[in-house]
Structure 1
Amino acid sequence: MMYISDKTKELSTYDAIVIGSGISGGWAAMELCRKGMKTLLLERGRDVKHLQDYPTANLNPWDFKFGYNNPMEDQKRNPVQSTSYNPTNKHFYVEDMEHPYIQEQPFNWLRGYQVGGRSLTWGRQCYRFSDLDFEANAREGIAVDWPIRYKDIAPWYSYVESFIGVSGQKENLSQLPDGEFLSPMELNCIEKHLADSIKKNDHDRLLTIARVANLTRGWDNRGPCQYRNLCSRGCPFGGYFSSNSSTIPAAMATGNLTLRPFSIVTEILYDEQKGKAKGVRIIDTLSNEVYEFYSKIVFVNASTVATAGMLLNSTSSRFPNGFGNGSAQIGHNLMDHHSSAGASGTHDQFADQYYKGRRPSGFLIPRFRNLHDNEKLDFKRGYNIQGHGERQEWSDKVNGLSGFGSDFKAQLTTPGPWTVWMAGWGECLPYYENKIALDPDQKDKWGQPLIRIDFSFKENEHNMMTDIRNSSGEMLEKAGFRNVDTFNYKKPGGSTIHEMGTVRMGRDPKTSVLNQFNQMHEVKNVFITDGSCMTSSASQNPSLTYMALTARASQFAFEQLKNGNL
């Protein structure tokens, strides 16, 4: 054990420590700093400063040696990460060879180790959960009940939306509650045609513009969105929400934030006498030195898989099987949305119409399955459908054309027919056997155990995928599309990058890790508000829920600390 002098300990002590600077960690840091708490924000990766560290943000397609294609050698070196990045944003992803993990079954663990984490590359879709989602486990007798309901989190959804800026259209749907929206983006003509057809043919279905954290007007000294569709490169205009453009600068402005990149948290330290966490131990990745930092409360926001791994690695005589793991649930109930199944088609009408510029969002068909008790389907829960309509361009037609000269150029530059591509984002049930664990023997270059991931979609998810194919193809055919192709890409877990679970919320300490305020049942001064806290996955993109839970937990933690309960 390293010796810590009293003076060193004093200089290393804060009111709060936040582990991870991504979407939820940035929110925790901002909320705690704004409440006057001296906060240490730890990030295992490098620093990325807004504006100055977006090297590809203003480059042209021809500025990249291989265009937007990943070279074969790069794909071999990064077989997982290269499924998500291209040369324009590769710098925001880890190197697979430097950060290995073990796949018991195929699982794409896609990661960004830098200040801001994956808030720099996320898809920006922002949807509220409803009581259809929060009550589902209890209603169906699956896993454990959520310890909250929509009314508990609704004001925090509004709080978050009003800060980050979400463009969207109110639709008054019980399964997808409306939020605090900026003006929506506009559907193009083929999407409007599909929307009209869906409305005419099925009253339970509706097509609307996606709800995204892209600013349709200037907001909180950010934006507006420039409609460049280069979001994953980092936006110098602050046109979309990220930790780097929004929450971290807001935390810095308070004077209460200390940001420390290059800091791998190896374990949370437990005080046996006081029965609570006293701080964290880290490895500095530049010097390989080990340090300890101390605080009154700890927020863990390292992302689902890493958070569970960190807790399992934090052992003591009180918690020999992992920090706060008396329930033996840490690492289990891993979930990810499936987004493999859907349909595409072409349409012969509207040849006289086109569009100008780009739009950083598609359309959404909110969940329409299992809304009623009498739907005799062969799967539980449901899915939403996300997609977009566009006209074929030269890159879509080049393989089917031949020729030379002006005629060939004219064929390439003349827009092709309108097309629609759409796929279902489907709920994955929380299965105990879908899990992460620490390998007892294999270590990474910092001496930390490699994480083993064992995950697969089950019969319920596969049956849902079949229904997605059928319903997507049916909607296109009813709208007059031809060449309708239904598909299932059969992507492995992790590919949707919505990993959730492993440290679930619940009512009973015997079957869950966190209470209704994301507070550890067994260690009251530790809060976990990243995706690991989720009790079920619903079908909506989850990041808005992470942010709302984080803001809510931060307020609760501050009040508990102020009242002397922590």
Structure 2
Amino acid sequence: MHLTIDAKKEMTYDAIVIGSGVSGGWAAKELTEKGLRVLMLERGRPLEHVTGYEDALKGPWQMPETSRLGDLAPRYPQAPQDSTLAKSAQSYWMPGADTSYRQDKPFRWLRPGIVGGKSIMWGRQSYRFSDIDFDANAREGVGVDWPIRYKDIAPWYSYVEKIAGISGEKLGLPQLPDSEFLPPMDMFLVEKEVRKRIEKNFPGRIMTIGRTANLSEARKIQMDSGRASCQYRNQCIRGCPYGGYFSTQSCTLPPAVKTGRLTLRPHSVVTEIMHDAQKQRATGVRVVDSETLEHREYFAKVIFVCASAMASTALLMNSVSDRYPNGMGNDSGQLGHNLMDHHFRIGASGVWEGGEDRYFYGRRANGIYIPRYRNIGTDKRDYLRGFGYQGGGGRQGWQRSVAELSFGASLKEELTHPGLWTMGLIGFGEQLPEYRNRMYLDKTQLDKWGMPTVAFDAEIGENERKMRIDMLNDAQEMLQSAGISNVKGYDQGSVVGGAVHEMGTARMGRDPKTSVLNAHNQIHTVKNVFVPDGACMTSSGCVNPSLTYMALSARAADFAVRELKARRL
């Protein structure tokens, strides 16, 4: 009897954090720094900061011949050919054999297989949601109302930004609140010219440098964690040994480890959250070791589910009991529904003839951004919400003549000089939350760890299709008005999941009858389980969502510790 009690004691922590990506890293940092003993469970393999980024400092001649998926397709059957799954980062992603899922409609689900998750490979674009985003559902009668407003999360945006380090330019726009900025990165010549002309020709449309979690300069709070300024190498997807951009390994794990209160366990597939119906609380988790297939149980007072939107919801759906036959916290029937992503792969590009005597410095790991201007103020369209543009300019390199049937000394000489300046815009649009867009579990098909297959039934709707007309036309019109020649528009279609901004499926809300989580990211009826990652999103906005996950995670951790101290958890 005593052996059983002692064994359970060894497996018991104050808090369990499931997942080590953007949200999980922040949860672990905040909980440990506030005095809790934390167990972080990650299904992927270890990845050591600095030494683990094996390709980070390799030259082009040492790398595979292409950055596209190419001959890796058989290993990653679910990934699109133009995916961010680059050869230079192939070992960071889970192979298709371990990430199989079903698509009732075309869907893309890319999953990392490392400690740090997608915080290693993310695009680093970091933007705040505004009250225009937080009150849109209530104002327009879409979905359910967010249970928070901008004022509730603004202090937490500021908190995480000062630590993560966000470079950018203050604009004072209501639809895109300013952050706690490091100095903005410089725009290229063509971008500065296009900016002036767009803002002159289209009042209310602004072009700015991207707001990115790359350190344009490292300040004391970053240097104390061993981070240095961005080196302008533009090899971020390989992992940064300098800590020049935000990642779990460079930013949130070091202070958590420093407390001495963090236990990190990789190769741990969490299959179920255990529930005590009498206490109305979660008691712990069941785990399968991904290498040995050994089963274990861990216990805690508080559980943070930060496995990423789809994986977090799949875990809740698989956590069934007499009290929750359809998944933990699913009294509302909303678990798995209201799946969202951003729709993109649409825009325009062209050539700027001028500035041949000018070039740019380094390889800037950033582009430009045009904030949303549709359905703002007096602008009214035949669709709801809006979109922004990412993109950028540059000068053509030697690759411009790869397809030319030419050779000889004159060709070599020409390719020693840069080509023309180019400029492109790529639209990212908001997808509305709709009940019909969903994920669910196919329990007839189990993976090697005993988990059901995740199935997706989601697509963009009529509202998004109407928006895409403006996304295409506006991009062409702005470039043409800015003096860009040979402008070509494109619409390559957009599959849900393709932007890797999966959101929703365990949404926040005010009413337990219509939502899964409350204003503090708690499950309404299981108060010691928190879900602050992408699953919690009530609407998607049109900006990259990772900064919001950071702020929500830090905010939820602070609330959880206060509730523990007050003995309410």
Q: Is TM-score (shorter-chain normalized) higher than 0.5?
A: yes
Q: Which moved more, 1:376-385 or 1:249-258?
A: 376-385
**Does the residue aligned with 2:527 lie in a helix, a strand or coil?**
coil
Query: Please, which of 291, 301, 309 is the counterpart of residue 296 of structure 2?
Result: 291
Is 1:337 aligned with 2:336? Answer: no
Instruction: Please point out which of 272, 276, 282 is paired with 1:271.
Output: 276
Return the offset for 1:65: 4.0
Residue 514 of structure 1: aligned partner: 517
Q: Which amino acid aligns with 1:68?
A: S
Partner residue, 1:378: 382
Question: Which one-letter code corresponds to 1:157 in the other structure?
Answer: Y
Query: Does residue 432 of structure 1 match 2:439?
Result: no
Q: Deviations over 1:118-160 (max 9, x none)?
A: 0000000110000000000000000000000000000000000
**How many percent identity over aligned positions?**
51
CA shift in 2, pair 1:156/1:204, >3 Å: same
> Quick one: distance in 2 between partners of 1:4 and 1:387?
61
**One-letter amino acid matched to 2:272:** E
Structure-2 separation of matches of 1:427 and 1:141: 16
Q: Aligned match of 1:389 in 383, 389, 393?
A: 393
Give 1:246's aligned residue: 251
Measure, in 2, the Cα distance between the counterparts of 1:375 and 1:171: 20
The secondary structure found in structure 2 opposite 1:76 is: coil
Unpaired stretches in structure 1, ≥5 consecutive residues: none
**Cα deviations across residues 456-493 of structure 1 (Å, max 9, x unaligned)?**
00111111111111000000010111111111111311
- Write the letter of the residue equivalent to 2:28: A
Is the CA contact 1:340–1:465 (under 8 Å) kept in the aligned structure 2?
no
CA distance in 1, matches of 2:198, 2:106: 36
- Structure 1 vs Structure 2 CA RMSD: 1.2
Matches of 1:104 and 1:47, distance apart in 2: 33
**Alpha-carbon distance between aligned partners in 2 of 1:79 and 1:355, rounded to the nearest angstrom:** 38
Quote the Cα distance in structure 1 between the aligned partners of 2:77 and 2:295: 31
CA distance in 1, matches of 2:300, 2:448: 28
SS of the residue 1:438 aligns to: strand
- Partner Cα distance (1:119, 1:375) in 2: 36
- The Cα shift of 1:275 comes to 1.0
Q: Contact 2:347/2:491 (CA < 8 Å) preserved in 1?
A: yes
Q: CA deviation at 1:4?
A: 8.8
**Separation in 2, partners of 1:206, 1:147:** 30
Give matches, 1:457-472, under 5 Å.
457-472=460-475
Matches within 5 A, 1:222-261: 222-261=227-266
**Aligned residue runs from structure 1 range 25-44, under 5 A:** 25-44=24-43
Partner Cα distance (2:326, 2:419) in 1: 60
Asked if the contact 2:99–2:111 (Cα under 8 Å) also holds between the matched residues in 1, the reply is no
- 2:528 aligned with 1:542: no
CA–CA separation in structure 2 for the residues paired with 1:86 and 1:324: 37
Structure 1 match to 2:506: 503
Aligned to 1:148: 148
Contact 1:504–1:534 under 8 Å retained in 2:
yes
Alpha-carbon displacement from aligned partner over 1:45-91 (angstroms, at most 9, x marks no partner): 1111101110100111111243434433x213313336222221111
Equivalents in 2 of 1:79, 1:419: separation in Å?
33
Alpha-carbon deviations, 1:300-347, whole Å to 9, x = none?
000011111100100011101100110111100000001111110111
Equivalent residues, number: 561
TM-score, normalised via structure 2 length? 0.97
Task: Judge conservation of contact 1:50–1:244 (CA < 8 Å) in 2.
Answer: yes
Deviation at 1:376, TM superposition (A): 3.8
Verify: 1:367 aligned to 2:372, yes or no: yes
Structure 2: distance between partners of 1:142 and 1:258: 42
Residue 447 of structure 1: how far off its partner (Å): 1.7
Report the Cα distance in structure 2 between the residues aligned to 1:248 and 1:376, rounded to whole angstroms. Answer: 45
Partner of 2:419: 416
Q: Deviations over 1:343-400 (max 9, x none)?
A: 101111212211121101000000000002x43412110011101101111113321x
Check conservation: 2:156, 2:552, Cα contact below 8 A: yes
SS in 2 for 1:471: helix
Equivalent in the alignment of 1:46:
45
Q: Tell me whether 1:93 sits opposite 2:93 in the alignment.
A: yes
SS in 2 for 1:89: helix
Are 2:15 and 1:12 aligned? no
Paired position in structure 2 for 1:327: 332
Q: Which residue of 2 aligns with 1:125?
A: 125
CA distance in 2, matches of 1:92, 1:14: 29
Alignment partner of 1:443 is 2:446: yes
Tell whether the 8 Å contact from 2:68 to 2:85 is kept in structure 1 after alignment. Answer: no
Residue of structure 1 in register with 2:77 after alignment = 79
Does the 8 A contact of 1:22 with 1:119 survive in 2? yes
What SS does structure 1 have at the residue aligned with 2:73?
Answer: helix
Secondary structure of the corresponding residue to residue 452 of structure 1: strand
- The amino acid across from 1:443 in the alignment is L
**Paired residues of 1:341 and 1:466 also in contact (CA < 8 A):** no
Q: Is residue 61–residue 68 contact of structure 1 (8 Å, CA) maintained in 2?
A: no
- Which consecutive segments of 4 or more residues in structure 1 shift more than 4 A? none
Does the 8 Å CA contact 2:64/2:88 hold for their aligned counterparts?
A: no
Aligned to 1:61: 60
Q: Indicate yes or no: 2:20 matched with 1:21.
A: yes
Q: Distance in 2 between matches of 1:455 and 1:52?
A: 40
Instruction: Show the 5 A alignment for 1:340-351.
Output: 340-351=345-356
The aligned residue for residue 476 of structure 1 is 479
The answer to whether the aligner puts 1:552 opposite 2:555 as a matched pair is: yes
Please state how far the C-alpha of 1:412 moved relative to its aligned partner. 2.4
CA distance in structure 1 between the aligned counterparts of 2:409 and 2:382, rounded to whole angstroms: 55
For residue 524 of structure 1, give the secondary structure of its aligned residue in structure 2: strand
Residues in 2 aligned to 1:14 and 1:376: alpha-carbon distance in whole angstroms: 53
The secondary structure found in structure 2 opposite 1:462 is: helix
Query: 1:402 offset after TM fit, Å?
Result: 3.2
Please give the alpha-carbon distance, in whole angstroms, between the structure 2 residues aligned to 1:397 and 1:492. 32
Q: Partner residue of 2:535? A: 532
Choose from 401, 405, 429 the match for 1:402.
405
> Which residue identity lines up with residue 473 of structure 2 in the other structure?
N
SS in 2 for 1:360: coil
Where do 5+ consecutive residues of structure 2 fail to align? none
Instruction: Please give the alpha-carbon distance, in whole angstroms, between the structure 1 residues aligned to 2:413 and 2:28.
Output: 55
Equivalent residue for 1:282? 287
CA contact under 8 A between 2:38 and 2:263: conserved in structure 1? yes
Rounded to whole Å, the distance in 1 between the matches of 2:383 and 2:398 is 41
Most deviating of 174-183 and 57-66:
57-66
Q: Is the 8 A contact 2:13 2:39 kept in 1?
A: yes
Give the SS at the match of 2:402: helix
Per-residue CA deviations over 1:240-298 (Å, capped at 9, x if unaligned) read 00001110111000000000000000000001221100010000112111100000000
Alignment partners' CA distance in 1, 2:568 and 2:75? 50
In structure 2, what residue type is equivalent to 1:433? Answer: R
CA deviation after TM superposition for structure 1 residue 102, in Å: 0.5
Please tell me whether the aligned partners of residues 84 and 110 of structure 1 are also in contact (alpha carbons under 8 angstroms). no
Secondary structure of residue in 1 paired with 2:523: coil
Contact 2:374–2:380 (Cα < 8 Å) also in 1: no
